[in-house]
Structure 1
Amino acid sequence: MRRHRWRYLAGAAVLLVIDVLQLLIPRVLGDVADAFASGQLSAAYAARQALTLLLLAALISSGRWAWRHLLLGASRLLEADLRRQLFAHLQRMSSGYFVRHRVGDLMAHLTNDVQAVRMAAGQGVVLSIDALFMTTAVVAMMASSADLRLALAAAAPLLLLSAGLTYTGREVHRRFRAVQEGFSRLTEFAEENIGGIRVVKALAREEQERLRFERIAAEQVELNVRLARVWAIMGPMTEAAVGLAYVVVLLLGGRLVVSGEVSLGRFVAFAGYLGMLIWPLTSIGWLINMVQRGRASLERLAALLAEQPDVEELPDAVSPGRLSGRIEVRHLTFTYPGATRPALSDVSFTVEPGQVVGIVGRTGAGKSTLAQLLLRLYDPPAGTILYDGRDVRSLKLEELRRQIGYVPQDGFLFSVSIADNIAMGLDPTHDEGDDVRERVEAAARLAHIHEDVMRFPQGYDSLVGERGVALSGGQKQRTSIARALVKDPPILILDDALSAVDAETERAILEDLRGVLRTRTAIVITHRLSAVREADQILVLDEGRVVERGTHAELLRRGGLYARLYERQRLEAELAAPEATGSDGLARVEWHAASG
């Protein structure tokens, strides 16, 4: 709000001027009534007063447009600022943050919570200024325009109203917070279900998922109804208080007019002011509702913004320069936050520039954890991972990650064209110009996705849909490989990046990549051992430890875990091959199984 303080101040000033002008209307009507009662009302006087009312109406209308433009416009700007701040904050947060927080909850923060804050900072500010000034000014004008006894009698029901509104305000705050948390659960379920709609349909789960959604939606309805019950009390409570005040004014004020203690004009003005009091008093209910909603949402947003990323760039971080590709891992032990067992234990190895290192092992051995630590998506212990002899924690994060081509197993794609998905690997501050499309296509050819792309009607400009839904699993992985290759990184990390392609395509991709890999350091994480046969060094992980290391031939000769995994995969390949379906093939499989 400080950023837009001049709009707020100007809008508040205009609003106060308009409120003052509105206070003049009952006084004009009272003067006309007194002139009529005294027999001094003339056509000329009535015309002048009518023109005065028209002028006041014109000024009030213009002023209302001005303060709406200033105050409500400021709240819209504040909403945009807050939404940008929240999104930038989410971009700063580490990978572990998104494991702990549901997507639906974050979406509720960016939508409903921000909107509630905007309403409190816009209409809520208007109502607070209007209610405070108009209530105070109208009561003062009522006291000055009539007998003090009449003003005190009219104010008594309004004091009872304030006590009731205080209680309902607290309830609105508590119940609206529950509503927002329920909305988070509803959004999370819907987002997850729509994202996984193909799985839902494949399992014929449509009816069950519909019923689950109905249960969550019914809970949300109940939460909103509980809030509405409290909110519904505010309007009738205010109207009852104002109605009671009118009864008191008519009974007591009528008697004072008849007795001559109060003139008819002053009584008309007093009644007019009492009518003007209805809006600010009614708006107090709206104001409490709006402010309490905004307060509840602001508390949720403040809690989100207060969280700090697990991985932060140190103040004295240095630029890594162009990395040569030398990687050292020294006695690395890492445990995920909240876990009881380490995911990696005492892992050590060295990768020289230009080497290809394969990392293999069974599911859950810690392979992907190692890849994420090399990228510093999680913070490794100090001195355990070094690039060109420098601790990874001492390097600037953005510059480090720009020099690592990382291909995750899931191959996430964004809802843009194929060309734009691949070009995301480029540095937008340096990689611009006419050669971007050429580099994109060159990377796509290396990743063996170019031919598939050209079969689409719009080629590289074809949209891939949400999360790449228009592409197969293998096509998504190859597009992700192209995205990593397009920026020509000195270090390439493939985290089971070819799991969704067939063995023949995998061999063709790896063959084309060999020329690329000669000029850079590559870490190939895979469960398919044929992908690392040509690696300079192979590390075998089991339960977070390096249990074997060596070349493909050396590991086979030792007959350890690597040899057993390789033999099992070879048998599976033979069993799946067409020639393995005959009696000779079956005999070979049985012989291998028996000998293994």
Structure 2
Amino acid sequence: MEHSWPRARLGEGLSALVRKTGLRRNIPHIPHIDEPPDAPPSERDNEQLHEWLDTAAAWLGVEAQALSLPHPELYGFLKASGPAIVRVSDDAFLVVVSATRRGLRVLDEDSRVHTLTQKSVGQALQKNIEEGVAGEVDALLEGVSLSRRGRARAHMIEERLHDETFEDIWLLRAPPGTSVAEDVRHAGIPRLLAAFATAYFIEYGLFVASWWLLGRGALRGQIDASWLAAWALLFITMLPFRMVATWYEGRVAVAAGALLKRRLLIGAMRLDPDETRKDGAGSHMARVLESEAVESLAMSGGLLSAAGFLQLAICGVVLALGSGGIAHVLLLALTVILFMLVAWRYFQKRSRWTSTRFRLSQDLIERMVGHRTRLAQLSPSERHEREDLSLAGYVEDAQAADRVYSFLFHVARVWFPIGFLGLAPAFISGQASLGRLAVALGGVILAARALDQLATGFADLLDAGIAWQRIAPLFHAASREPTRGDPSVLSLARRSKEPRRGRPLLDVSELTYRYAGRSEPAIRATSFRVSSGDQVLLTSPSGGGKSTVVSLLNGLRRPTSGTLLFEGVDPMSLGAEAWTRRVATAPQFHENHVFTEVFAFNLLMGRRWPPTKSDWEEAVTVCEELGLGPLLRRMPGGMNQLIGDTGWQLSHGERSRLYLARALLQGGALVLLDESFGALDPDNLRKALMCARKRAESLIVIAHP
């Protein structure tokens, strides 16, 4: 296809696309794909291409999201795609900058932008899969007249291709782990804030001007139809700007909320396992709840506070022009200072209440998880003793915070007597004109309105700030750079479809790991080698560091010292995702999980989702080999049966075999099984061992002696 890039120059095309779209400023060099461009396509080749693109995109500092696009959604995607990489044939890739009404804007090999119609690109993508069914359709339509054949052929091909998917499409986007400033810029928040501030400032200026005009006319005794018409015109002109400001306020809230949730999600995924375990499930649940508070309160409180301070600034100018002059402005400033002092006191009380609530959440989760243990071990009179004490402290802290919150509004409303007091000298002396007295009175009323709005908004903003303190570790964890890998070394770690037995696979040399806060290492100077085809049993007493070794081998933890190589490549060079594809793990039972999803998803989540036909068939075969066939036939939905906490309940042994199947189906060159057979009866243990030894290319089994 015209303006496409060959496979061998795909790295250059990817770099040019990132540079053109501004997703990243400093673009490192991407080495070319080392296979010849005319290499025959195969399933393994496609897997390597996907892996290379993921690693190359990460190397550039962007994300490449592989899409599985249903055939009916193809043209809808083409109307809104970009930036993207689209494979149109075995050795032709389109580098898509963006989509417009005219078509797709693509880069050629000279980095010039051209526009291709969606129809031409869609036909190129459909060509390969249409060729498989076109012959059958033509045979069926052999006796149909030529005048009707074209339309009938198109409809029949469309129907036959309805369930087909397009796999070779990658959307590029800035990763959530970039700097906050970059994320804010890509979300367009500065532009939205500027538009909101402009519309709000114009709206408030028209509001003040309308009442200034009405007041001036009243004081001069010139109120007539023309003055009222001018006032109404200003007031009506204000309404569109209010609508625009409200609309931009909503857009800012949506954009900022999406950005916050995205960073919190990726931050949670990038937390160190030890951090997650240390904080406890209850604290993490409380953080999730606090994220909702930050999203809602920060937006409403932040914008209300900004508007309130803007109004106070305008009120200061109005008061300075009034009869009270600078003295009146100083009284307003003193009221604002008093308000800020009370707000700080509220912040302290609210922070203490939030800490108490966090502890209650943690205790609640622990008691829910350990409910059966409490029923068995504690007498009824002792089960709720701690809860009563905790709730009493919670109520006391909440009442203290509520009292200060109420006082915050009283301080805002005390401005009225203070403001009128500032008018007294000019009013008593009689030296000020009626006009300046009216201006000062209007300034007092506007300032009271602004302070009342500020009290509501600032309290919400303080609550959001307190909530932010709790979720900040998750937010900042998103900036931790994962090991991206080097695209140029991927070929060193690629393995052929039929691996040679005995070749070095995993080399561990002088590996040492020390947990944070501990003086003695859990693993000290450990060395061993695993070759392709090896089946290794690793044993030690409880607490001997077996599971720590597993977490080092699968990349969840980084060693304190020592060397870890897979096919001669270290984890930093290979990258976290590529390492995980090669080293599949079934963690210990208490660290594994059944997701509330269909049974097939729980099996194939580490391999590919949605699955191909061959993935599905292999999953069923593995289940039969592990003795899960009766379970599949017993569940009404079979492989599509919903399981998990709210679905079909699996037994302990069924879960263990599901975890084992999940690791084997991942297709890694090395499979780590951490005490995966402890819950199995002798018959199922024999089946599981046979299946693992048959299907794992290389195997390390962790078990007690």
Does TM, normalized by the shorter one, top 0.5? yes
Q: 1:423 aligns with which of 601, 604, 615?
A: 604
Deviation of 1:312 after TM superposition, in Å, equals: 5.1
Residue in 2 that maps onto 1:414: 595
Residue in 1 that maps onto 2:676: 497
Amino acid at match of 1:85: R
Inter-CA distance 208–283: structure 2 relative to 1 (3 Å threshold): farther
Residue in 1 that maps onto 2:51: none
| Residues 126-161 of structure 1: CA deviation (Å, up to 9, x unaligned) | 432x333322323433443x43xx345644542431
Inter-CA distance 445–404: structure 2 relative to 1 (3 Å threshold): farther
Note the 1:32-47 alignment, pairs <5 A: 32-36=217-221, 45=224, 47=225
Residues 154 and 245, structure 1, Cα contact 8 Å, conserved in 2? yes
- Count of aligned pairs between the two proteins: 509
Note the 1:175-254 alignment, pairs <5 A: 175-197=349-371, 199-200=373-374, 211-249=385-423, 251-252=424-425, 254=427
Q: Secondary structure at the match of 2:635?
A: coil
Deviation of 1:416 after TM superposition, in Å, equals: 1.4
Write the distance in 2 (CA, Å) between the matches of 1:371 and 1:468: 31
Deviation of 1:220 after TM superposition, in Å, equals: 3.5
Residue in 2 that maps onto 1:262: 433
Deviation of 1:412 after TM superposition, in Å, equals: 1.4
More off after superposition, 286-295 vs 70-79: 286-295
| Residues 288-325 of structure 1: CA deviation (Å, up to 9, x unaligned) | 43444444444554444445999952765843323857
- TM-score between both structures, scaled by the size of structure 1: 0.75
Residue in 2 that maps onto 1:277: 447
Where structure 1 has 5 or more consecutive residues not aligned to the other structure, the ranges are: 528-561, 563-596
Deviation of 1:279 after TM superposition, in Å, equals: 1.3
| Residues 352-386 of structure 1: CA deviation (Å, up to 9, x unaligned) | 32222122333222222222222122223554443
- Does 2:319 align with 1:134? no
Write the distance in 1 (CA, Å) between the matches of 2:520 and 2:380: 38
Q: Secondary structure at the match of 1:414?
A: coil
Q: 1:479 aligns with which of 638, 646, 658?
A: 658
RMSD: 3.3
Write the distance in 2 (CA, Å) between the matches of 1:304 and 1:202: 37
Q: Secondary structure at the match of 2:533?
A: coil
Deviation of 1:81 after TM superposition, in Å, equals: 0.2
Write the distance in 2 (CA, Å) between the matches of 1:106 and 1:462: 30
Residues 423 and 483, structure 1, Cα contact 8 Å, conserved in 2? yes
Deviation of 1:269 after TM superposition, in Å, equals: 4.7
Q: Secondary structure at the match of 1:364?
A: coil
Amino acid at match of 2:275: Y
More off after superposition, 361-370 vs 388-397: 388-397
Residues 138 and 276, structure 1, Cα contact 8 Å, conserved in 2? yes
- Does 2:261 align with 1:83? yes
Amino acid at match of 1:175: K
Deviation of 1:477 after TM superposition, in Å, equals: 0.9
- Does 2:560 align with 1:387? no
Note the 1:570-581 alignment, pairs <5 A: none
Residues 669 and 698, structure 2, Cα contact 8 Å, conserved in 1? yes
| Residues 524-560 of structure 1: CA deviation (Å, up to 9, x unaligned) | 1223xxxxxxxxxxxxxxxxxxxxxxxxxxxxxxxxx
Write the distance in 2 (CA, Å) between the matches of 1:440 and 1:262: 90
Inter-CA distance 392–74: structure 2 relative to 1 (3 Å threshold): closer
Residue in 2 that maps onto 1:586: none
| Residues 173-200 of structure 1: CA deviation (Å, up to 9, x unaligned) | 4334334433332333333444455555
- Does 2:209 align with 1:24? yes
Amino acid at match of 1:98: T
Residue in 1 that maps onto 2:690: 511
Residues 319 and 444, structure 2, Cα contact 8 Å, conserved in 1? yes
Where structure 2 has 5 or more consecutive residues not aligned to the other structure, the ranges are: 1-183
Q: Secondary structure at the match of 1:220?
A: helix
Write the distance in 1 (CA, Å) between the matches of 2:527 and 2:481: 22
Write the distance in 2 (CA, Å) between the matches of 1:459 and 1:283: 58
- TM-score between both structures, scaled by the size of structure 2: 0.65
Deviation of 1:472 after TM superposition, in Å, equals: 1.5
Deviation of 1:163 after TM superposition, in Å, equals: 2.7
Write the distance in 2 (CA, Å) between the matches of 1:295 and 1:154: 32
Structure having greater relative contact order (Cα 8 Å, sep ≥ 6) = 1
Note the 1:293-372 alignment, pairs <5 A: 293-306=463-476, 313=483, 318-319=489-490, 320-322=493-495, 326-372=505-551
Residues 172 and 231, structure 1, Cα contact 8 Å, conserved in 2? yes
Q: Secondary structure at the match of 1:492?
A: strand
Deviation of 1:17 after TM superposition, in Å, equals: 0.8
Inter-CA distance 450–312: structure 2 relative to 1 (3 Å threshold): same
